[in-house]
Amino acid sequence: MSDDFENLAADSASPPDTSGTQITVFALVVSVFLFFRKFAGLIKEHLLARFFGAGPATDAYKIIYNSIVYNLYSDAEQLLRPTYLPEFIRQKETDERQAWRLTGTVATLEVVLLTIVAALLMIFARPLIRAVWPALAANPEAYELAVLMLWLMSPALIIFSLSLMPELTLHAYKRFTLPAIAEATYNLMIMVVLFVGVELIWHPGHPRGIIAAALGVIAGGLLRLGVQIPGLWHKLHLLRPSLAIRRTPGVLSMLRLMPPIVMGLTVSMARPIVDSSVCTALGPGMYAALDFGRKLSDAGIMILPLAVSLVVYPYVSEWAAEGNRQRLTDSLVSMTRALAFLFVPLSLGMILMARSLVDLVYNYQEFQEADVRKVTIALICYASGLFIYSVEGSLNKWYFALKDTWTPNWVGVLWALGHLTFSVVGGLYTQLGLVAVALALPLSKGGKVLTLYWKLRRRLAPVPVREVGLFAGRLLAAAAVMGLTVWWLNGMAEPVLQAWQPPVGGKVVQLLALVALVGGVGAVVYLSMAALLRLEEVGQVWSWFRKKLRRR
């Protein structure tokens, strides 16, 4: 596998018309590792649904983790990636010791700030929860659980901050595997601690068993850090903790790029807080159902798109520095086409098979039929935006490479405010309820992505409009044939497989057989139609695999 990385990295100097394809293929290799991360995450979600259903205890855990702990960590990552990573790369090219001085100062500053934040969260846990989630606080049992879990998980912010710096530094050295493995082990550790804690310590049905998930977050953060350290072991002697902000070259340059990012993150951070507050007002378990649906839809987009986003940044930064507008355009078009080729049919398939997917992953023990219906609604709404979510993260990198942190953030703020308005008004003051909260994300992200594409067009070489239009028409035709096939086959196969009594596995085997049969036939039909309509992406992937087979 490492040979593949070296070959692909060497190909980065290839002609402009193949650059986007090579980035995508490189990302496919990294995606193998990210797949295990999502698989472990889905098992964790399955265990939460199985042990606790979509009730108040699950609401408490998901609200604290998603809206506070992971939200703050994610904001730190989004703040540092476009500021620290390119500055480290720039300094590393001339003086590696100087680059590591930057790392030491930034890491120290980050740990100090997040330690203060964690302490404030622990001190003001009760008034914070009462103020932001009054409906949750009205349930004494859920309220006490939420307070306890905030106390337990707040220190994880410090651990997360320590694991973030080696991740970004490894990316600066164009090493993506260890960070991907670290993320997989993080989810795996949460899954293991949750299972062991509930089954062996608290036992199923215990009202405080979900605390095991909070402890898993801490253990997972420690493992996430530990996995990445060996990748930088021979460089750690260069690391010196410091708070000499003015005397460390590069820190002030980073700080000058941060205000528009902070503005965007401040507004976007309100997104999960407002959504969770609206859902708790709609009733117990509504936020848990919303998040279960979001996690299932994310399983389809957080592998390849994340890999593309991680891999593409160093390359487009180099092309932007060279002023090569044609290469920037070619790679953007290729990236967009590749992600559309994958995620338009996947989105349609998830919508058509939403009920079966929810049954397969969640519908066990404490999960009720009402929970299934709510999660299915959320999944259908979220799945409608898979292609939009998949391109958003990578699209921002073209702006960052052009040293523009302002445009993507003010556009993000504008559409995030639209998200908040639609979620609150639609969720609380119309009959849409959960549908409005779930649809707010694809609608706002869609508006943001379209705006960013439109504003980027003047900064790149002309886009081949006719070629893109032909691709879009052929893609939609292939996806439509696949959708009709999936809809018809699902209706025919579901009653047959429900009547089948497998010798082992029961319901799980029935649902796996249904999803595998319908999904597999749908994939074959889609790829066949794509080949018939001569979509280039089919030939590109097939040619790459044939080349690898010949090398073996």
Return the SS3 of 511. Answer: helix
Average pLDDT estimate for 163-190:
84
Nearest to 367 by CA among 497, 507, 495: 507
Nearest to 44 by CA among 219, 225, 186: 186
58-69 pLDDT tens trace: 888 988 998 888
Asked whether residue 521 is assigned to any structural domain, the reply reads no
Q: How confident is the model at residue 535 (pLDDT cuts 50, 70, 90)?
A: confident
- For 236, which DSSP code? G
Return the SS3 of 454. Answer: helix
Residue type, 457: R
Tell me the longest C-alpha to C-alpha distance in the chain: 72
Task: Compute CA 252 distance to the chain's CA centroid, rounded to the nearest angstrom.
Answer: 30
Q: CA 68 to CA 486: how far, in whole Å?
A: 39
Nearest to 345 by CA among 450, 445, 539, 485: 485
Cα 179–Cα 180–Cα 182 angle in degrees, nearest 5: 60
Backbone φ and ψ of 324, nearest 5°: -85, 85
Asked whether residue 276 is assigned to any structural domain, the reply reads yes
Domain range for residue 96? Answer: 2-463
Is pLDDT above 50 for 2?
no
Average pLDDT estimate for 375-401:
88
Q: What is the pLDDT of residue 8?
A: 34
Nearest to 438 by CA among 350, 345, 376: 376
CB 367 within 8 A of CB 46: no
**Which tokens in the block code for residue 245?**
């902000």
Cα 447–Cα 436–Cα 387 angle in degrees, nearest 5: 40
Residue type, 497: L
Average pLDDT estimate for 500-525:
83
Cα 286–Cα 291–Cα 292 angle in degrees, nearest 5: 95
Phi-psi map region of 118: left, alpha, beta (phi>0 left; psi -120 to 50 alpha): alpha
Asked whether residue 32 is assigned to any structural domain, the reply reads yes
Cα distances from 390 to residues 136, 180, 337, 450, in angstroms, run: 33, 17, 11, 13
219-270 pLDDT tens trace: 999 999 999 999 889 888 888 888 888 888 888 888 887 888 887 778 777 8
Asked whether residue 501 is assigned to any structural domain, the reply reads no
Q: Give the count of beta carbons closer than 10 Å to the beta carbon of residue 18.
A: 15
CB 44 within 8 A of CB 190: yes
* Structural domain count, the chain: 1
Asked whether residue 550 is assigned to any structural domain, the reply reads no
Q: What is the pLDDT of residue 309?
A: 67
Asked whether residue 523 is assigned to any structural domain, the reply reads no
187-215 pLDDT tens trace: 889 989 999 998 888 877 777 888 999 99
Q: CA 131 to CA 275: how far, in whole Å?
A: 15
Q: How confident is the model at residue 15 (pLDDT cuts 50, 70, 90)?
A: very low
**Which tokens in the block code for residue 177?**
């595997």
Q: CA 426 to CA 322: how far, in whole Å?
A: 47
Asked whether residue 500 is assigned to any structural domain, the reply reads no
- Give a three-class secondary structure readout of 365-398: CCCCHHHHHHHHHHHHHHHCCHHHHHHHHHHHHH
91-117 pLDDT tens trace: 887 888 888 999 999 999 988 998 999
Is pLDDT larger for residue 37 or for residue 462? 462
CB 185 within 8 A of CB 161: no
Q: CA 122 to CA 130: how far, in whole Å?
A: 14
Asked whether residue 473 is assigned to any structural domain, the reply reads no
**Which tokens in the block code for residue 518?**
């319908």
